Each structure stands twice: as C-alpha cells, then as structure tokens.
Amino acid sequence: MSTERDSETTFDEDSQPNDEVVPYSDDETEDELDDQGSTVEPEQNRINREAEENREPFRKECTWQVKANDRKYHEQPHFMNTKFFCIKESKYANNAIKTYKYNAFTFIPMNLFEQFKRAANLYFLILLILQAIPQISTLAWYTTLVPLLLVLGVTAIKDLVDDVARHKMDKEINNRTCEVIKDGRFKVAKWKDIQVGDVIRLKKNDFVPADILLLSSSEPNSLCYVETAELDGETNLKFKMSLEITDQYLQREDTLATFDGFIECEEPNNRLDKFTGTLFWRNTSFPLDADKILLRGCVIRNTDFCHGLVIFAGADTKIMKNSGKTRFKRTKIDYLMNYMVYTIFVVLTLLSAGLAIGHAYWEAQVGNYSWYLYDGEDDTPSYRGFLNFWGYIIVLNTMVPISLYVSVEVIRLGQSHFINWDLQMYYAEKDTPAKARTTTLNEQLGQIHYIFSDKTGTLTQNIMTFKKCCINGQIYGDHRDASQHNHNKIEQVDFSWNTYADGKLAFYDHYLIEQIQSGKEPEVRQFFFLLAVCHTVMVDRTDGQLNYQAASPDEGALVNAARNFGFAFLARTQNTITISELGTERTYNVLAILDFNSDRKRMSIIVRTPEGNIKLYCKGADTVIYERLHRMNPTKQETQDALDIFANETLRTLCLCYKEIEEKQFAEWNKKFMAASVASTNRDEALDKVYEEIEKDLILLGATAIEDKLQDGVPETISKLAKADIKIWVLTGDKKETAENIGFACELLTEDTTICYGEDINSLLHARMENQRNRGGVYAKFAPPVQEPFFPPGGNRALIITGSWLNEILLEKKTKRSKILKLKFPRTEEERRMRTQSKRRLEAKKEQRQKNFVDLACECSAVICCRVTPKQKAMVVDLVKRYKKAITLAIGDGANDVNMIKTAHIGVGISGQEGMQAVMSSDYSFAQFRYLQRLLLVHGRWSYIRMCKFLRYFFYKNFAFTLVHFWYSFFNGYSAQTAYEDWFITLYNVLYSSLPVLLMGLLDQDVSDKLSLRFPGLYIVGQRDLLFNYKRFFVSLLHGVLTSMILFFIPLGAYLQTVGQDGEAPSDYQSFAVTIASALVITVNFQIGLDTSYWTFVNAFSIFGSIALYFGIMFDIHSAGIHVLFPSTFQFTGTASNALRQPYIWLTIILTVAVCLLPVVAIRFLSMTIWPSESDKIQKHRKRLKAEEQWQRRQQVFRRGVSSRRSAYAFSHQRGYADLISSGRSIRKKRSPLDAIVADGTAEYRRTGDS
C-alpha cells in the first residue's frame, strides 16, 4: 500500500523545473515528449510500435492533397462531402471568412428561434395561445401580444445592428486584394476568390491571405521576413525560407504559371508551430516543415515580394482553427435573475392553484345555488376550477415581467455607449477610444475580485529605451553638463553632430558625450563599439535611413543607442560586419558568433580587426558574466554597486566584457568549434561546451541599463484597485527577474513584501497534502473540512512562480511514459477495476493539490506567474474561477493572451504593440492600462448599482400591480375577473411605468465619478453582492405585497356604502378599477423618485410625464368617440370623467398614495441617520470633498548592497539570427533581372555592405 502511495506522490527526480524556460508547447503530445528522451525501449515494445506505425505508412497523417495551378483537381467527386441530404460541397474551404450569423433569408426565422429559446419569451407565447381559447381567456389577446411584439422587435433590431457590423467587417477583409496567377498571368483578385492550389504574389507590408507554401522571394535563398504579432503577440521579425529547388526554378512569372507541383500534407489543424508535408515535383519528393509555411495573419516585412502556393484557405487556416468558439458569457446577476423568475413561476402556479381550488369550492357552495349566476353551462365545480386555474395563470402573468429582459438589454446598451463616449478613457496619441465590445457584462464590472494581467505591453509600453550605463566603474545617464555638474533642469543631448543619429533617443548626460568625443577614456569608446558589433541584428536601408530588425526589443534598443552615440552598425555579410566609428567606416572579419540561448544567458562574437588582432566581445546577464571574469578586474565592485542601483530603479541590466585572443589559441579553439558545428548528435550541447572554453578570463567593461517603461498611471491604478479589495495577478511569458522588477516598479511588490518562490510553496503544499492524507480515513467524509492558513497572520506576502514550477505543483507536468510493454486493454476485470481506481485516486489528488495551491496563492497580496504559456495563463484563471467562485477579469494585448481573455468572466484587450487579436477576442478594449480603474471603479460600480436598483424596483412595481387581482378574487368568487381595464394591463409596463425606471437604470449615480475614484472602498458592495440577492428580492416581494394590499383595501373601504355629491353611485366596478389604477401609477412613479439618487431634468420629466401620459391616454380610451368605433374593445365609456370629478375619489387616491409612501420615507430617513452606508456618508459630505486628493507615489529609500533584485536581459524565446548570418543565407547576391517583376517595378536590389 505504501509503495502505491509513494508512486503517486513523487516527481521525476531527474528533471527539476527550470525557471528560465517556457514549458512544453501547448500542442505537444505525450508521444512527442517521449521522443525527446533518448532512453532505450524494450525490443518487443519497439516491434509493436513499428507494426502499428507501418499499417498506414504515409496516408495516416498526410491526407490533404493540393495541386498547383489546377482548380479543377480540387473539384473532383471524391473531394466532395455531403452537407445536407443530397447537397454536397468541397472539403476545401474557399477563402471567404464568415463571422456573421444571419443573411436576408434566415434573419427572421433564426432570430425568432433564438429568442424563443429564452424561457420567458416562450412562456408568453404559450400565454398568447391560451388567451386565444375562449373557455379560459380572461384577458384580451392583445394584452400579451403588444408587449411581446415590442420585446421581440427591440431585441431583433439590436441583433440586426450587431450582425450588420459583422457583415461589414467580413466584407472589408474578404475584399482585400492580392495578385493571383490566372490564365498564365498575375492578375489582381479579391481574397474571397482565392482557392487552394492558387499561386499568389505578396508585396512588402501585405497581410498573408491564406496559409501558403513559400516558393520564392526577392531575398537571397528566397528568405522571407514576417511579423507574427497577430498570431503569437511577438513583434520581432521571424524568417521563413523556401526549398532550394523552388528558389532556383520559380522566380519568373512564366515558370510560376507552369508550376505543377503536388503536395500531400496534414489535414487542417490549429498547431501554429507544426507542419508536416511533402512536395512532389520533377520526379522528386521534398520534405516540408513549418519554416516553409507563411500563415494567414502574418505581415510581410523587409521583403519586396514573395510567391506562394495556397495550401489552406479560409476556415481551414491555422489562425481560424485557433480562434475557436467564443464562450457565451453571462453575468452573476443574469443567473440570479433567472432563478428569481423561476421562483416567481412557482409562486404564480401555487397562487393560481389555490385560487382555482377556491373557485371550485365557491361554485359548489354558492354558484350552483344562485339562479342569477347561471351561464347556460352545466359544468361541474371541479371542471370550472380547472378552467379557472388557466384563467388565473393568464390574469397573474404580469408577475413574470415580460418587459424585464428587453429593459435590461436597453440599459446595458446605454451603459455600453457611456463607456464608448467617455473622453477620459480616450487615448488621443493613437486616436483610440474605449470600446465596449459586448453589451451583456456591464454590471459584472462592478463585482470583480481578481484581475489577471499580462506584463509586456499591458503594464509596460513594450518600448525599450537606453537610460543609463556604467563604464569603467563610472555611472552615466544622470542630468549632467559637460563639466560633470548635476542639474535638475537641463536640455537633452543634441546628437546633430552624428549623421547616423535617429533623433529618437532622449539622453541628458552631456558628460558622456564629452568623454566619447575627447577619447580620454578608451573604455568609453570600446563600450559603444561592443554594442555596435556584438549582436544578431539585421539591417536594411530605406530612403537612406538605417532600419534595424532585432530578435528582441532589448537588442534593438542597444544597437540604436550605439548608433546615436557615434558607433553605427551599417552592414554585414556572411563573414564581415561594417561599423561607422565616429564617422569612420571600418570593416571587421567575423570569425564566429556564439549565439544566445536561455541556458547560456549571454552572446559573444569573435572578430579580427583591420590591424589583424583577434578579439572576443561578450554581453549577458551579470550572474553568468561575473563567473567568467578574470581575477584582476579593478572595476568589478563599482559595477556591482551600479547594477544594484539600476535594479533598484527597475531597469533591465546587461554586463559587457571582452578579451584579446592569441592567433594560436584561436586556431586550436576553431578546430573544436568547427567539429561541434557539424556534430550529428547533441550538437547544441557540444557547441555550448566549446563556447565555455573561450568565454573565460574576460575583462569587464561595464553595464547597460534599459528601461521597459511602465505605461502612465500603472502604479496609481494598481494602488486604487488594491484599496477596492481587488487582487492582481501578473501572468507573463517573460523571465522571472524581469517580471519581479516590473512588480516592484508598479508597486505590486514593495520592500516590505516577503516573496515566496516555487520551491518554497512546493514544500508547503507537500506538507499540507500529507496532513490531509493523514487526517483522511473511514470517517473523513463526516468530519467538517478544516481551513488552516498556510502562512501565519500578519505580514505582506507575494508569490512568484514560473511555468515549470506551476506544472510541477499542479501535477500538470507531462511525464514520459515508462518504457515497458503496455497492452491497449486490461486483460482481466480485476485489472480494469484496479486501473480505474488508480485513475480516480490520481484525479482526486490532482484536484486537491490544485485547490490547495489556489488557497495558498489567494493568501498572498500579489501573485506573479512568469515563463508561462498561453494555455497555462488560461489554466490559472480557470482554477481561481473553479475553486474560489470569484468573478475574474483578464487583461492583455497580444494573441498569446486570447485564451486567458476568453476564459475569464470578463476579458479586456489593450490595443498596443502586439496586434489586434486580443482586442478582437475581448469584451472591452482601450489603449492604456490606467483606464482600467475608471472602467471598474466608475462605470462598473455605477452599472452594478443601477442594475440592482432597477431589478429591485421592477419586481416591486410588478408585484404591486399584479397582486391586486389576488385580493380582488376574494370578493368576486375567485372567478378570475381582472381588477383593471384590459388596456391599462396592456400599457402599464409599456408606457405608464417604463421610462422612469429605464432612466434610473441609465443615469443614476450615488456619488460622482471623482469621488468614486477617490474612495475605492465603495466598490466592495458589488463584490459582496450586497445590493441584489435573494434577501433583497424577498424584501421587494414583501414591499409589493403590502403596496397591493393598500392599493386594494383603502379604495374598497372608501367605496363601501358611498354616494356621490350628485346622488349618483360611483361604487361601480369600473370606477373602482380607475381609482386603483390611478393610485398605482402615482405610487410607483413617486416610489422611483424616492429611489433616485441623482436628479436631472430628464428624470423629473419622465416621472411627471408618465403620470400625465396615463391620465391623457385614459381619458381618450374612455371617450364616447372611440367606443362608437370599437364597441367591443373599449367598454369603459365615460368612466374616467364620471369618477374623477368626485372630490372624495381624489381624496381616496391621495390617501392611498400617502399610506404607501410615508412608511418608506420614514424607514429611509431612519436608516440613513442611524445606519448610514459609505456612500450615504460621502453624499452627506460631498461639498466638503470637492477637492480631489492627489495620489503620490511611495518614496523608496535605496540601501546600498541590500537589494537582492537584479533585472536581466530579456532573451528572445528563440535563438537569434546567428545561424542565418553564419550560413550566409541572408546575404544578398546579384541575380539576373526578372522581366515580369521589373516590369511591375517591385524589385529593389540592395548591394552588400562592403561593395
């Protein structure tokens, strides 16, 4: 037993989580993980596996067939799939994108079908059918039809507007153009007309319209540079390269037109980084992989033109396969509202059943013996009771408010427009307003518990700037003049003396310029020379300007800084690099490039100077550089102190060093380097070992400090959200050190914060699991769960955890399968049972472990998850949703944030540096993180308060209106007769009481926006569901019941034994109905006045206007003229004018309204005086709180040598361009002119840098 338990709880001993690497690809399968291990498998296992693989040797994976320039091939019968009965369509999708839901023919039937899937609409349709049955109809059919048509019409118009917008967007994308070969020539065609097998031409800055195989390009070796921001959020360029055969033969238009290659490849799938296929051409087969495929959504950069063959089009493209189905999100209030409507259904059914039983009893006791009540029907009392049950279902149907849903939609639509129109969330620099992309989630913005934020581009600007440096122990970058004197106000450095300066660098230390120009300290010049030479940046010239393309934004910032300080990188070939050194061009021979990777954390280059000396230049993270320095480095401590200062200022640091190499030493090393470069196995490990031999005894030059600048207002926003009891988790793919320092920069972490790492909490979770298992036993299920905190009370803690540790802790790690012979099915029933039990135990353990992790993380004030994949981001959000039942919001700006944005209750997209895919998948979008505080603390809180007030009042007014019928039934033999006129019932929710409550739901605010931001604690009521819950619902129900009693019984008492002044008796049923209706309309409209916190002219006009509208319509409906035209429809002829000219009727109405409202006024006064809420207190003192308190950043005290933080270089998640440069594949070679291309004027050939 113990052995079995141990086997479940232990992890792989040989694989500790690596903090530096992003975990496995989201698409990696168990089999692929197996392939990464080089262990020897048993012979029998190998035989079984090979037999299974060879069953379908090639067709197993590659079943997608594409023939170039042959559309008819793809229309063959065996490529057709049956879609509907005998209707067939090709399995090859066309390239038109369709995101709309309806067309002109399907809109009405499909929209009605969707609307009647909503329970309330279906209920009213059934009611309408019941009202058409004469035996049970107690109300005219139009009392239900008119409101139902209004509800369906408003919703249909809203859906139509949304779908028209989708049609326009689809049309815009589908009508983009590119060149396609037709009839042997390139012709302009729309994207929607492109088909699989077409050969297309794309030009610089074009979007790729489909997934295509790269055939050739204007670059050497048919390289093609693409930007993949729409796919993975990364703005650095990536390169693709065609097959050598297609590069050689498919450059001209005529050869492309006759190209007849045949491709067999994998079926369409969503794996962005994988592709498997084969090209058959010229009696030879050529393997294809992802490096030869351009995906839809990429943008062609730095490549004048390229040609490609369409493999997947439209819905089959990988980006469309990745978009997935957007989850339908509903708010917490939506779910609660539905449960309350179900509760009302139950109450309605019980009331109807009780009254039906009462009618059956009354018929048996009274009706059958009263000759004057005989209606010609000889039905039994029980049958009459059954009919009356349905009659009361119809009469009391207004308890379920038909206009509730459409009113909610109108309010949400208005609130969404307020967000769109908010000028304080408009970003003028990029002309980007805030955008509510959904209208269904506004009030949920006022209930957020957890925010999950991306880092790069969301908290930061994703724009790296060179801020400071330390050279030879001296720090540069402060505000100093050329004489080394500090100044608070000083002009920025003028770089006009440098012809290559780009004019974008803001630098204020004039002393550094003086040092560079004077040359007094050679280390200063050597420092910037190192930045100009040691990199893998690619360069091209446009209109005489240098354009750099770097593998990471940090590297681009450093090369640009060197360029501004006079050391400009101009050109490179396979073996040379050309630098302008203070105006003098010098070319250096590149002997070797030792590229970055996440293990090495550094990059080196070995060059031969024009004088013949060999030098190695190296830059990297301080932790690895300091280990490789020569013992005699005089500035080592000064540089260390500078690194501490830079880290304290949350700058990203990098150490620079060099060494001189003797010819003999280099020759010996180069032999080992060349041998490792061609190693057939473990090449990377062999190269790293060789690199280690040369990268030692280095001489330290200094350190750079780059600022990944925070967006404006980020610390202020985080501070205010924290005061609103909202916890912020940062989920990023960046490195641990970088993420940690950004945490300090935005004040998510402080010097007082105790930071816990993956290894710390792993032991805590192990201990908790052991305790839970020890407590578990036979009686464990009966014992109450013990919630013990993980940390002692008090203290400010934060958790920083990497993706690898996250997999380890949550038991999500994909472990390699044990290499033993496994059968597909268990051989015996006992084996099957044992396997099932083991699987259940593992699932239960995993679930408990995940719950413990969430409990632990939620005890921390801040959580930072770094080096996480998009899948892990979504997983963390889902865990908090699942185990905390908390409302979550995810905010990001890249395509790698889409999964997280879709998983959270609310997704917010920032339109930043990484494309628009996050915005397209989001519910709300804006341009800056700081707008989040206004979205939540102002719009979210107001929306929540407005919606809660609206719902409470709506239920109240409908109960007050409907339950009058209930009290009336005790006096009419439970006969299902209505207490009002039919037209009043029809128009009550539509005209007489709708506008004031709608305006309150749109405009009401308890405190102003400035005070909402100043007092974030006001937000907590939404998190705790204090304003709308079952308790509040039943209070509204009780309020409605009491109001209905007063509305019925006071007029009833007034009408008993009464005679009018003129001798007429106004105690008739119709006058009674008018009196109750008048008192009801005045009461509910004055009640909304009591509920309104923010009075405007519009509110006041709507309240008094609704009352005036009621009297105006009533006098018209009760006029003799309309009765003559429609005698059966309008039967209350003259009732209003007759009843309302009696003074005591008006006295009755006034008395009824007063008795309804005075207790409410008294209770409100007492509650605000004795138990005031936070908003009551702020409202009371709002004049005193006019001045907005200015938020001030916390002053940080730097203590030398104490800081343990170190920001480091943001390495690219992939290697740089070193392999590409060294192989010479990127170097331009002159090529014979291409007639067709030159004729179009699209080719611009650049010369090599040294020609």
What is the distance between the alpha carbons of residues 267 and 79, in angstroms, rounded to a whole number? 13
Residues in CB range of 1081: below 8 A, 6 or more apart: 988, 992, 993, 1106, 1107, 1110
Place of tokens 């001189």: 660
Report which secondary-structure segment, H or E, holds 128.
helix 119-131
Angle among Cα 1094, 1097, 1101 to the nearest 5 degrees reads 110
What is the distance between the alpha carbons of residues 923 and 909, in angstroms, rounded to a whole number? 8
Ramachandran area for residue 1225 (φ above 0: left; ψ -120 to 50: alpha; else beta): alpha
Instruction: Tell me if 1208 sits within 8 A of 622, measured CB to CB.
Output: yes
Instruction: Tell me if 279 sits within 8 A of 59, measured CB to CB.
Output: no
- Report the DSSP pairing between strands 538-542 and 545-549: antiparallel
At 42 the three-state DSSP class reads coil
Judge residue 1226's burial from the number of C-beta atoms within 10 Å of its C-beta, 0-12 exposed, 13-18 middle, 19 or more buried.
buried
User: Is there a catalytic annotation at residue 878?
Assistant: no
Residues in CB range of 415: below 8 A, 6 or more apart: 436, 439, 442, 939, 942, 943, 946, 1002
Place of tokens 């048919």: 222
Q: Where are the alpha helices (DSSP H) in 1056-1184?
A: 1069-1091, 1097-1117, 1120-1125, 1135-1139, 1143-1170, 1174-1180
How far, in Å, are 181, 186, 677 from residue 305 at the CA level? 15, 13, 33
Amino acid at 1177: K
CB atoms within 10 A of CB 770: 11
What is the distance between the alpha carbons of residues 299 and 789, in angstroms, rounded to a whole number? 51
Q: Which of 454, 734, 1025, 1091 is catalytic?
A: 454
SS (H, E, C) 295-355: CCCCEEECCCEEEEEEEECHHHCHHHHHHCCCCCCCCHHHHHHHHHHHHHHHHHHHHHHHH
Structure-block tokens of residue 391: 């009659």
Instruction: Tell me if 502 sits within 8 A of 665, measured CB to CB.
Output: no
Instruction: Tell me if 804 sits within 8 A of 23, measured CB to CB.
Output: yes
Angle among Cα 779, 781, 787 to the nearest 5 degrees reads 110
What is the distance between the alpha carbons of residues 13 and 1151, in angstroms, rounded to a whole number? 83
SS3 content of the chain, % helix, strand, coil (to 5): 50, 15, 35
Structure-block tokens of residue 868: 């996480």
Nearest Cα residue to 18 out of 729, 874, 760, 758: 758
What is the distance between the alpha carbons of residues 802 and 756, in angstroms, rounded to a whole number? 12
What is the distance between the alpha carbons of residues 752 and 739, in angstroms, rounded to a whole number? 18
Radius of gyration over alpha carbons of the chain, in Å? 38
Angle among Cα 26, 30, 31 to the nearest 5 degrees reads 120
Return the active site residues. 454
